[in-house]
Amino acid sequence: MTATIKDVAKKAGVGLGTVSRVLNNHPSVSEETKKKVLEAIKELDYNPNAIARSLKIKSTNSIGVMIPDISSAFYSDIVRGIEDIANKYKYNIILLNTDLKREKEKEALITLKEKKVDGILFISNTINDKLKKDFRKINIPVVLIATKDKNEEFHSVTIDNEEAAYKATEYLIKLGHNKIAMLAGKNDDPNAGIPRIEGYKRALTENKIAVREDYIFHGDYKFKSGFQNMLKIIKLKDKPSAIFAASDTMAVGAASCAMQHGFKIPDDFSLIGFDGIELAQYFYPPITTIKQPRYEMGAKGMEKLLKLIQGEEIEKGEVLEFELVERSSCKLKGD
Amino acid sequence: MTATIKDVAKKAGVGLGTVSRVLNNHPSVSEETKKKVLEAIKELDYNPNAIARSLKIKSTNSIGVMIPDISSAFYSDIVRGIEDIANKYKYNIILLNTDLKREKEKEALITLKEKKVDGILFISNTINDKLKKDFRKINIPVVLIATKDKNEEFHSVTIDNEEAAYKATEYLIKLGHNKIAMLAGKNDDPNAGIPRIEGYKRALTENKIAVREDYIFHGDYKFKSGFQNMLKIIKLKDKPSAIFAASDTMAVGAASCAMQHGFKIPDDFSLIGFDGIELAQYFYPPITTIKQPRYEMGAKGMEKLLKLIQGEEIEKGEVLEFELVERSSCKLKGD
DNA sequence: ATGAAAGCGCTAACAG
DNA sequence: CTGTTAGCGCTTTCAT
C-alpha cells in the first residue's frame, strides 16, 4: 500500500491537518513539528495524491491540448512550446489528436470536461461553429493556437497570414519575377488558405502584376499535392519563373518534381515556402521560407491560458511575428 | 455550478446509487428508472466527474508518456501510435518531455506518481540505472519503447538494431561496394549507437572486408553532425564509395554536404540512412533507408501496457520488424 | 500553532 | 431492483 497523509500524521504524531499544512507550506507551522512531519514523509516515501487534492480544491493543474496530429512537424513544435511553459508552472498536458474531425473534437472535449482540466489549448487551422458553441457552453478557459474565430470571441495566438503571404510574394517580385505561381491551400480554409491567397494577390496587384487564376493551384499542404501541382506547372506553355507555396512540404514536393524532370532550383524556378519546418532547412537546396514561430505560438498560448485560469484580463488576439528566412531556393530573375 | 450525481438523483427522483448504476450501465436497473435517469442527465447536461471517480476506484484511465522531445520527428510518430490505441481504449495520455536528462526524468516520474497514472510508457534511446531503480520502486506498470534494459527486467518494444545495421551494410556490399564508411552514433549509446556499429562491422567481416576505424565517424544523429563528418569524408584521399548513416537526418546532412561540394548522390556516394522519417522520403534524391516501425512501436507499446495494467502475463521483450526501403540514393558500384 | 470534523463527487457493499 | 451509507485522500474551516 502506498502511504497516505494519515500514515504520515500517525508516524509524526500529529493531526492530518498539520501534515497538509506542511505539504502546502502554510506559514503557521512550528519549525519543530515541520521537521517531524518532513521526516515521516521521507521515511514513508510518501507522495501526495494529486487526485484527492484535485477533487477537494477543484483544480487539476492539467490542461488539455487538442491537436490535429501530433506526428505532424508543424504541430509537434507547438506542443513542445506548450509543454515547456506548462512544466515550468507545474502544469501537465493531456494530449488528444483530432485529425480535424468534428467527431473527434467533440469526444475530446467531453473527455477534457470529465477530467476537469483547468484549461484547453485548441490547435488547428480552422474552428467550426459547433465547436465554438461547445467551447462557449463549457466553463473552462480556452485559447486557440494557429487559428482564430472571425469575431474574436475567443482568445488566440496566430500570425498575420495575409501579410506573410504578401511579404513572400513581394520578395519574389523584388527579385524581378513577374510570373509568379502559387501553390495554395483551399478556398474554404480561413487561416492558411484564404488569407495567404489574398496576400499573394495583393502583392501582385500593388505591383501592377495581373493576377492569373491559372497560376493558382490548390492543394492540401502535403508533399504529394505540391508534387502533382508542379507537374501541371512544368507542362504550362507560359511557365512562371517563381513559385510561392503555402507550405514547406508542398514547396519541397514541387522542388522534387521539378528536379526529377531535369529542372533546377533556383535556376529554373525560384521557390519560397511557408512554415519554416526542418524539412525546408535540410532540403537541398535549402528552401527560402516564411518561418512561423511555432514554438513561441505554443509557449505564448500556454502563457495566455495560464493568465486566463488565474482570472486575469488579457488581450484577445495575439499576433506573433513571422520571419522571412532567406536560403538558396530563390534567385534574381534572369540572373 | 456544474451538476453532480446528486443533482441528477434529485431530479430523477431516485437515489444516487441508482444514478451511478446507470452511468456504469450496471445490469440491475429497470428500463423505466434508467430512462428517467438518462433524461435527467440530459436535462442537466451532466458529465461525470472523472476525478471523483478515480479517487474512488483508484484508477485514472490515464497513462504517462515520457519522451525525450515531442518535436522530434522520430518520437512524435511513436506518440501518435500510442495515442491512437489509448484513445481506442478510453485512456488518455499525459505527455512529459525529458530531453534525456536524468533530472527531468526524475521529476516526470514524481508527477506521474502523484497524478496516479495507471501505467507509464518510457520512450528513449537509453535507460540509466537510477531510473531503473525508480521504476522498480514505483508500483506502476512500465513499458520501454525504442530502448531496453540489458537484463530484460522491464517490458519493452524495440527493433533489432544490430541486425538492421547488418542488413543496411550488406545491402551496400551486395551493390558491389567494399569501401563503406559509417556515420555512427556514440559508443556509449546502447541502443542506436553500439548495436548499429556492431551490425555494420559484422556485415563487413562476414564479407571479408576489413573494418577500418578511420571510416567510422561518430555523431549525435543530427543534421549538422552528418554534414560535418561528410566534410571529413570528402577530404579523405581514399574515399569510400558508400556510406551507412545511423540516422536519416545525418544521411541528409551528409548528402547536402556532398552536393554542396559538387558531388552527386548516388553517383559519387551511395547512401543509406536509418529511421525512415519523412525527411528521407522527401529529400531529393529520396534516401534509401532502414525504416523503423515508429507508429507500430507506439501502438504495440500501448497495447502491452494495457495488458500489464489488466494483470495479464505477457512476453517481456517485443522485437518488431524493420524494413529496408529502397529509394534513389544507392547504386551499383562503378555503374 | 494544531487537532477534529466536514465534505469534494463518486462507487460499492449492504440492507431491504 | 433500489435507497442508504461508508469511505477514497485531501484541504479547510472551526475550535482550542
Sheet strands side by side (includes A270-275): A216-218, A180-184, A242-245, A270-275, A288-291, A323-325
Residue range A182-228, pLDDT digits in tens: 999 999 888 899 999 999 999 999 999 999 999 999 999 999 999 99
Q: How far, in Å, CA of B106 to CA of A94, rounded? A: 19
Q: Are residues A288 and A298 in the same domain?
A: no
Q: Are residues A97 and A155 in the same domain?
A: yes
How far is the CA of A127 from the CAs of A60, A85, A218, A304, B120, in angstroms? 26, 24, 20, 19, 33
What is the pLDDT at residue B334? 78
Q: How far, in Å, CA of A231 to CA of A214, rounded? A: 14
> Could you tell me if residue A328 is inside a domain?
no
Residue range A138-165, pLDDT digits in tens: 999 999 999 999 899 999 999 999 999 9
Q: Are residues A145 and A168 in the same domain?
A: no
CB proximity A17–strand D (7 Å threshold): yes
> Could you tell me if residue B11 is inside a domain?
yes
Whose CA is nearest the C1' atom of nucleotide D13?
A17
Phi, psi of A211 (to 5 degrees): -80, 125
Please, are residues B66 and B95 in contact by the beta-carbon 8 Å criterion? Answer: no
> Could you tell me if residue A261 is inside a domain?
yes
User: Which long-range contacts link A36-39 to residues 24+ away (Cβ below 8 Å)?
Assistant: A36/A12, A37/A8, A37/A12, A39/A12
- Which nucleotides of strand C are protein-proximal, with an atom < 7 A from a CB? 1-5, 7-14
Instruction: Copy the grid coordinates of residue B183.
Output: 556515420
Q: Are residues B254 and B182 in the same domain?
A: yes
From the number of C-beta atoms within 10 Å of its C-beta (0-12, 13-18, 19+), residue B44 rates as middle
* Region B38-67 average pLDDT: 97
- A-chain CB neighbours of B76 within 8 Å are 70-73, 76
What is the pLDDT at residue A332? 95
The count of CB pairs under 8 A between chains A and B is 142
* Region A23-37 average pLDDT: 92
Q: Which of residues 264-303 of B touch A (CB under 8 A)?
A: 278-279, 281-284, 286, 295
Instruction: Copy the grid coordinates of residue B285.
Output: 534524391
* Region A16-33 average pLDDT: 92
> Could you tell me if residue B69 is inside a domain?
yes
- B-chain CB neighbours of A259 within 8 Å are 284
Q: Are residues A217 and A103 in the same domain?
A: no
Please give the residue range of the domain that contains residue B302. Answer: 59-159+294-320
Give percent of chain B above pLDDT 70.
Answer: 100
Name residues 42-71 of chain A with a Cβ under 7 Å from nucleic strand D: 48-49, 52-53, 55-57
| CATH number of residue B15's parent domain | 1.10.260.40
CB proximity A5–strand D (7 Å threshold): yes
What is the pLDDT at residue B28? 86
Q: Are residues A249 and A299 in the same domain?
A: no
pLDDT at A334 over 90: no
| Total tally of structural domains belonging to chain A | 3
How far in angstroms lies nucleotide C1's C1' from the CA of residue B279?
A: 63
Helix-strand-coil split of chain B, %, nearest 5: 45, 15, 40
Give percent of chain A above pLDDT 70.
Answer: 100
* Region A309-327 average pLDDT: 96
Domain boundary among A14, A35, A56: A56
Residue range B83-115, pLDDT digits in tens: 999 999 999 999 999 999 999 999 999 999 999
Q: Are residues A17 and A139 in the same domain?
A: no
| Residues constituting chain B | 335
Q: How far, in Å, CA of A257 to CA of A273, rounded? A: 15
Nearest CA in chain A to B248: A282
CB of B114 within 8 Å of a chain A CB? The answer is yes
Region of residue A171 (phi > 0: left; psi between -120 and 50: alpha; otherwise: beta) = alpha
Res. A243 pLDDT band, cuts 50 70 90: very high
Q: How far, in Å, CA of B118 to CA of B137, rounded? A: 15
- A-chain CB neighbours of B83 within 8 Å are 70, 95-97
What is the pLDDT at residue B172? 98
> Could you tell me if residue A237 is inside a domain?
yes
Q: How far, in Å, CA of B264 to CA of B7, rounded? A: 73
What is the pLDDT at residue B114? 98
Whose CA is nearest the C1' atom of nucleotide D2?
B18
> Could you tell me if residue B331 is inside a domain?
no
Handedness of CA B4, B9, B11, B12 (dihedral sign): positive
> Could you tell me if residue B325 is inside a domain?
no
Q: Are residues B111 and B170 in the same domain?
A: no
Q: Are residues A276 and A167 in the same domain?
A: yes
What is the pLDDT at residue A28? 85
CB of A84 within 8 Å of a chain B CB? The answer is yes
Q: How far, in Å, CA of A247 to CA of A251, rounded? A: 6
* Region B8-14 average pLDDT: 94
Name the nucleotide nearest B17; use CA and C1': D3
Q: Are residues A174 and A272 in the same domain?
A: yes
Q: Are residues B192 and B99 in the same domain?
A: no
Q: How does the average pLDDT of chain A come out, rounded?
A: 96
pLDDT at B335 over 80: no
CB of A328 within 8 Å of a chain B CB? The answer is no
> Could you tell me if residue B137 is inside a domain?
yes
Q: Kindly give the interhelix angle for B16-23 and B5-12, rounded to the nearest 10 degrees.
A: 110
Instruction: Copy the grid coordinates of residue A263.
Output: 529542372
pLDDT at A335 over 80: no
Give percent of chain A above pLDDT 90.
Answer: 95
Q: Are residues B199 and B96 in the same domain?
A: no
pLDDT at A242 over 90: yes
Q: How far, in Å, CA of A66 to CA of B81, rounded? A: 16
Nearest CA in chain A to B251: A282
DSSP-assigned letters across all residues of A304-335: HHHHHHTT----SEEEE--EEE--SS---TT-
Which residues does A88 contact at the CB level (< 8 Å), separation at least 6?
A: none
Instruction: Copy the grid coordinates of residue A152.
Output: 474574436
Instruction: Copy the grid coordinates of residue B132.
Output: 531503473
What is the pLDDT at residue A1? 72
| CATH number of residue B275's parent domain | 3.40.50.2300
